[in-house]
Amino acid sequence: MKRIRIERGTKDDFKELEQFHYRHGSLMVRAVYRAVLDGKIIGVIVYGPTYPNLSARRITLPQFSGKMDSTHMRTINKNFVRIWRVVVDPKYRSIGLGVKLVRETLERVGYPYVEILAVMGQYNPFAEKAGMIRVPMELYTNNDQMYLKALDKIRKMGFDLDLLRSKTYDIEHIDKLSPKQLDELKQIIIRYFLGIINRRRKGFVGAIRHGSKDAIAAALANHKLPYAYAIWKNPRFRNLPDPIYCDGR
């Protein structure tokens, strides 16, 4: 670990290790840092823009809540950055390299606040070990246990929950389901994945009942998923508010 250097990298460094991450696809990158050992890249961390509106942020930093207009977007882009990927070569896992990548780059990236979020069980505690604070999920989600069990059933059908918001991905995976699995998926969507507005759209509900892949994928892609969330405030920005993590602390 003492011989590993953390230095500024490029998007190409991430592409070199992307095969070792469970998610694939294009990224909007603001900064990349790499871990180098004896001239070999063994880990990368990718920072990018965050979402303009998050329930967890509204609770922890209500000062940054606002209408979804251009002014709000500029404020979020100026003050927040998100950790999108932390990838470690499998040969060098379980030695604390993920923690090192996060800890040594949080302040270096230069933003007042750094966020990390992941769908369901994909959240990794290395962020907390590196100094970030995880916000208890029950503070910003109102999903009940039946809904979470429904998500688990979808996961067992082979869906990657972290890619579920991609309609293209959903259609590709729906094609792989057996007729029995497709019937079960339709029942789950109609029962748990349709909001009040979509429930009133008889044509949309009917399309799902008749097995329309486009309608099923649209329902999956447009539904919000519960996520784990952690945040870190850069101590250099003393004039900005501290996040409230839970119970007013």
> Which residue in the block uniquely carries the two structure tokens 């246990």?
145
Q: Give the CB-side neighbour count of residue 92, counting CA atoms within 13 A.
A: 23
Report residue 248's pLDDT band, with 50, 70 and 90 as the boundaries.
very low
The CATH architecture one would assign to domain 5-137+226-233 is 3-Layer(aba) Sandwich (3.40)
Yes or no: say if 99 and 130 are a contact pair by the CB < 8 Å rule: yes
The token duo for 145 is 């246990």
Mean pLDDT of the chain: 86
* Model confidence pLDDT, tens digit, residues 115-136: 998 765 455 688 889 999 988 7
* Confidence at residue 142, expressed as pLDDT on a 0 to 100 scale: 59
* Confidence at residue 194, expressed as pLDDT on a 0 to 100 scale: 77
* Model confidence pLDDT, tens digit, residues 180-198: 999 999 999 988 877 644 5
* Model confidence pLDDT, tens digit, residues 86-126: 999 999 998 999 999 999 999 999 999 999 987 654 556 88
Cα separation, 56 vs 244, whole angstroms: 10
Residue boundaries of the structural domains of the chain: 5-137+226-233, 145-222
Handedness of CA 195, 197, 200, 205 (dihedral sign): negative
Task: Count CB-CB contacts under 10 A for residue 168.
Answer: 10
Task: Count CB-CB contacts under 10 A for residue 152.
Answer: 12
Burial track 182-216 (b if 16+ CB lie within 10 A, e otherwise)? beebbebbbebbbeeebeeeeebbebbeeebbebb
Task: Count CB-CB contacts under 10 A for residue 95.
Answer: 13
